[in-house]
Amino acid sequence: MCECPYLLRTDTYHLRSIRTKTSDSPSYFTSGFYKITKGPARPAHYNFEETKYVLSGQIDILDVATGIQHHLVSGDFAFFHVGSKVEFSTKSDGFAFYAVTRPVKTPHPNLQGREGATSSKSKL
């Protein structure tokens, strides 16, 4: 994995995100990358919608409401509705692309001050 200047690191997961600078429309889309490593389960309560697409490794997701454990591997896709309560974990590591719907001016609670800058010129 590349060293990203706006990567949030904890013991068990890493986040990288770029948030749009759109201010004149009701845009509600943010995307980024999520990496999780072996360690304690990471709880998440969704007040927005999110989708994750596993790019490599594996990610386990416990649906707290049903008790069902989902084992996602490379190529698997998950969607979380508003109100979902889950716990993320892994036996090794996992890396995913995510996209969320939340107001553009509402930063991810774990990424405040860590979003990458956007520009009209593509960096690809």
Residue-range domain boundaries for the chain? 8-101
- Residue 116: count of CB within 10 angstroms of its CB: 16
CATH class of 8-101: mainly beta
H or E element, residue 99: strand 93-101
- Residue 63: count of CB within 10 angstroms of its CB: 14
> Is the pTM above the cut of 0.75?
no
Cα–Cα distance, 59 to 55 (Å, whole number): 10
pLDDT, one tens digit per residue, over 110-119 is 555 555 555 5
pLDDT, one tens digit per residue, over 72-109 is 999 998 988 888 999 999 999 999 999 988 765 555 55
Cα–Cα distance, 98 to 32 (Å, whole number): 5
Backbone angles phi, psi at 24, to 5 degrees: -110, 15
